[in-house]
Structure 1
Amino acid sequence: MNAEYYNLIAKSTAHRKSRDENKDFIFANPNYLSDLVEIACDTKDKNHHKACWILELICEEKMYLFIPYLDKFCDTLQHYKSDSAIRSISKICLFLTNSKKYSLTENQEDKIIEACLDWLIESNKAANAAYTMRALYNLSKKHKWVNEELKILLQRDCSFQTPGYKSAVKDILKRLK
């Protein structure tokens, strides 16, 4: 791990400008991507959520850079507990399940399904839940059992949830019918 690069991540912020600068640094220096993935996948590292923020932006623009790290990523999914990290990680899962260009293995799909179901049950953050339920919906087209699990989870009482969460639930339930 390059200490100088680690410090760059540690000093980054949630501001879009900071995240974009870090993303652009990786685009200009792709040899540092392995360090970024290492930090993002080390859920015990106090800065892993910052690495996840940057990784999300990289995956949104240049997913092909991330594909070699897909197994490591999927193996780590069950360990994410920070809502700040899960927001970015669940969005990466959505990008992956939306992709027409890249295919997930059965094992990778299973790990994404398992993690997404857990996050949907445990998270009370609307954005995390929205990305998670959309990724699960995408996978339910191939894995029919996910369709029923998703319906059950989404039909729970969500009167205490935000309008954004309720809107996402309504949209996915409509698609599941």
Structure 2
Amino acid sequence: MTTDALYKSLNYVNHSREKRAEMAMLVAKNPHLIAPLFAIAFTVDDPISCKACWVLEFTAKEDLPYIFPYLTLFTANLSNVHLDSSVRPMAKICEYLTKSYFSKTTNSTQKALTKSHLEKMTTVCFDWLITDQKVAAKAYAMTSLLLLGKKFKWILPELKVILEKNYPEGSAAYKARARLTLAKIK
């Protein structure tokens, strides 16, 4: 499948789990599609980029190592993603990566993610937390930052300050996740 054909097939992906999973299965069977999928995902002003992000999220969920060869590209471009429909799946991928990296069980993510990757994800997660993003992206960022705080000790005090400051204005969902995160920080 060419990049153009992949782009056209993304037109048929919608919010349904079925369509996103179907496309992720196609990508899993054809890993050479991941590079063009990232290229489309990081064409950040194109509405189709959101659909590429959804597929990348499902691909990462099913088999995280598929994205390992692209971690430098992923972390370098995260800060450019700005459409709400793209930010959420990218934040979820960050959560998958950090959960895997900080797992008590030794795994390939711990070898694949470098300090530079973790630092870039930290920066972007803080940006998502302090800017006007949807609650889901903020919740995934909270989880990622909480875990990243195990490696970078300065994160937890900063995270605590931000959560306490934004708590009064937060939605019910934001407050619920913030309470859980704050409880784990203390």
Q: Distance in 2 between matches of 1:67 and 1:25?
A: 18
Provide the residue aligned with 1:165 in structure 2.
Answer: 174
Provide the residue aligned with 2:52 in structure 1.
Answer: 51
Q: Contact conserved, 2:45 with 2:83, CA < 8 A, in 1?
A: no
Q: Distance in 2 between matches of 1:157 and 1:65?
A: 36
* Cα deviation 1:92-115 (Å, max 9, x = unaligned): 001111114212211111100110
Q: Distance in 1 between matches of 2:77 and 2:172?
A: 31
* Cα deviation 1:72-128 (Å, max 9, x = unaligned): 000001111111111100010011111142122111111001101011001342111
Q: Distance in 1 between matches of 2:152 and 2:31?
A: 35
* Cα deviation 1:39-62 (Å, max 9, x = unaligned): 112213331111011100111110
Provide the residue aligned with 1:154 in structure 2.
Answer: 163
Q: 1:50 to 1:159 in 2, by over 3 A?
A: same
Provide the residue aligned with 1:120 in structure 2.
Answer: 129
Q: Distance in 2 between matches of 1:18 and 1:84?
A: 16
Q: Distance in 2 between matches of 1:174 and 1:31?
A: 43
Q: Contact conserved, 1:83 with 1:123, CA < 8 A, in 2?
A: no
Q: Distance in 2 between matches of 1:109 and 1:173?
A: 21
* Cα deviation 1:127-168 (Å, max 9, x = unaligned): 111100100000001101111110011001433322211110
Provide the residue aligned with 1:89 in structure 2.
Answer: 90
Query: Where in structure 1 do 4 or more consecutive aligned residues deviate above 2 Å?
Result: 157-162
Q: Distance in 2 between matches of 1:67 and 1:95?
A: 12
Q: Contact conserved, 1:134 with 1:172, CA < 8 A, in 2?
A: yes
Q: Which runs of 5+ in 1 are unaligned?
A: none
Whichever residue aligns with residue 142 of structure 2, its letter is M
Q: Distance in 2 between matches of 1:59 and 1:135?
A: 15
2:42 pairs with 1:41: yes
2:80 pairs with 1:71: no
2:119 pairs with 1:110: yes
Whichever residue aligns with residue 128 of structure 1, its letter is A
Q: Distance in 1 between matches of 2:177 and 2:17?
A: 24
Whichever residue aligns with residue 34 of structure 2, its letter is L
Q: Which runs of 5+ in 2 are unaligned?
A: none
Q: 1:74 to 1:124 in 2, by over 3 A?
A: closer
Give the Å deviation of 1:25. 0.9
Q: 1:132 aligns with which of 141, 160, 166?
A: 141
Aligned-residue sequence identity (percent) comes to: 33
Q: Contact conserved, 1:123 with 1:129, CA < 8 A, in 2?
A: no
Report the RMSD for the aligned CA atoms in angstroms. 1.3
